[in-house]
Amino acid sequence: MIVAALLVPAVVGLALLIGRARVSGPVAAWLGAAAMTVSLVLYALVWEGRDVVSGEVDEPWIEPIGARLHLGVTAISWPFLLMTAGLGVLCCLWLVARDSAPALVGLVLVISASSLGVFSSLDLLVFFVFFELALVPMWFVIAWWGDVTHGAQTAATRFLLFTVSGSGLILVGIVVIGLDGGSLQVDEAMSGSLAAAVLVTIGFAVKTPVVPLHTWLPDAHSAAPTVGSVLLAGVFLKLGTYGLILFSPLLTRFADVAPYLAVAGAIGVVWAALACYAQDDLKRLIAYSSIGHMGFVVIAISTQSRVGLAAAVIGSVAHGVISALLFFTAGSLKDRFGTASMAAIGRGLYARTPWLAVTFVLAAVAGLGLPGLAAFWGEVLSLRAAYEIGDVLTRPVAWTALGLAVLGIALTTAYFVRAVRLLAQGEPVPHAGDRDLDRRELVVLGTLVVAALVLGLWPDPVLDLFDPLTRSFAR
């Protein structure tokens, strides 16, 4: 079942790329939505319980080096898988009414399938193969369908160079782990090498991204089409955080790099918030806000505690939902007004496009971590993990990260309130593009609003999934 969940979107995506001249854009988008729905249903049905690996597949692959085609669904990977498949469905539905190129739909499916493979992998080499398979399709999405006025080609190339460099470090780290521990299986691999810990941590820090390795992200988001930004923020960044969650228990010297990672994450929360306050382009603002949100996740991972690892998982999934909601909303605004500049869009959206304004405000308050919405639990649990210190961080490091993160929360509130004031409130400035949400937008945005509310109001079932595995992952 798990193999079918990967193959269906991959095969349909490749078929659309090959036969792109024989199918219309809307038909391709409906086919893509159907394929991702099949994958979503299969991943939902494969679940057997939090204490076992569900749908496990373990077959020989490259026997001389001990690599196996080892796939499965764990209590930690399952939320990532459902989120990725769900966002894939919504991206395809977003493209239905846009007469989008079938090739773009095909690339969305290939990216989604590759990301699902990452979250399903229980062999480190298989993990890396799927990790790499997602990079080139995303380059095409940004370079070919991106905004030329924002330097799409340059942004795509910079994205590729940074992420491939990070991948190279991860690959070397995997080789060291394999040589050191004699196995590439997640449940058996172990390394006491400091080099492996440093290489893997920096490699995933590029992907997450962690300050100062974040400079590729704002340009990529500014140039990317809406579905590209949704996949980049909602799924791609999670490959980095999931990688840190998966690999850190395998690295006994991770404790040596965790303090640096925690401080970098905390600095990122503050730095990103200050950068957001200076932005006029809404997509760049959301891009920088993603760096801040990932900073909380990185702090949580650095503690290597049960609370921290649970915070990292729910924080990552919550950000996937909220960032998708923000970027889809920004895409709706850009479609109407031809720009993501808040000054050009103008004030008074409450009066001009009421439902679109309400959706944007909900997305903004979710992004600032308002209680009752998805981001709250990841942030508050990250703060708790830093306060409790754990067995890895020292008190000065943990509490420094805690203090910076609290400052970042205040600054995050400031820049999101500023964005709401600049767009939703104030005297209406009529524009020829003023029109409210259509049915397609209502379905996509409404689904994400419901998801943000469910995660915020009812987190216990999600948090309960993590407990057994986070207990075994924590030091």
The reported pLDDT for the residue numbered 320 is 96
The domain boundary residue, chosen from 98, 113, 133: 133
Instruction: Determine the Cα–Cα distance for residues 275 and 310; give it in Å rounded to an integer.
Output: 28
Instruction: Determine the Cα–Cα distance for residues 210 and 290; give it in Å rounded to an integer.
Output: 10
The domain boundary residue, chosen from 85, 118, 133: 133
The reported pLDDT for the residue numbered 192 is 82
The reported pLDDT for the residue numbered 289 is 96
The reported pLDDT for the residue numbered 55 is 86
- Same domain for 96 and 187: no
- Same domain for 176 and 316: yes
CA angle 19, 20, 22 (to 5 degrees): 70
With CA atoms as reference, report the closest residue to 81 among 167, 5, 185, 4: 5
The reported pLDDT for the residue numbered 469 is 52
Instruction: Determine the Cα–Cα distance for residues 118 and 341; give it in Å rounded to an integer.
Output: 35
* pLDDT digits 0-9 by tens, 216-253: 999 999 999 999 999 999 999 999 999 999 999 999 99
- Same domain for 257 and 343: yes
- Same domain for 124 and 256: no
- Same domain for 150 and 105: no
The count of structural domains within the chain is: 2
The reported pLDDT for the residue numbered 466 is 67
Instruction: Determine the Cα–Cα distance for residues 454 and 82; give it in Å rounded to an integer.
Output: 14
- Same domain for 298 and 253: yes
Residue 429's domain comprises: 134-473
- Same domain for 350 and 273: yes
* pLDDT digits 0-9 by tens, 359-377: 999 999 999 999 999 999 9
The domain boundary residue, chosen from 133, 162, 193: 133
- Same domain for 171 and 29: no
Find where tokens 């058996």 sit. Answer: 188
- Same domain for 103 and 152: no
- Same domain for 150 and 119: no
Helices and strands (H, E) in the chain, number of each type: 21, 2
Residues whose CB falls within 8 Å of the CB of residue 251, separated by 6 or more in sequence, listed in order: 177, 191, 193, 196, 197, 200
Q: Are the C-beta atoms of 139 and 92 separated by less than 8 Å? A: no
- Same domain for 156 and 45: no
The reported pLDDT for the residue numbered 99 is 64
Show the low-confidence residues of the chain (pLDDT under 50).
Answer: 470-475
How many beta carbons lie within 10 A of that of residue 192, not counting itself? 12
- Same domain for 335 and 278: yes
- DSSP states along 72-118: EE-TTHHHHHHHHHHHHHHHHHHHHTTT--HHHHHHHHHHHHHHHHH
Residue 372 structure tokens: 């009752």
The reported pLDDT for the residue numbered 474 is 46
Tell me the whole-structure pTM to 2 decimals.
0.94
Residues whose CB falls within 8 Å of the CB of residue 414, separated by 6 or more in sequence, listed in order: 273, 277
- DSSP states along 256-306: HHHHHHHHHHHHHHHHHHHHHHT--BHHHHHHHHHHHHHHHHHHHHHHTSH
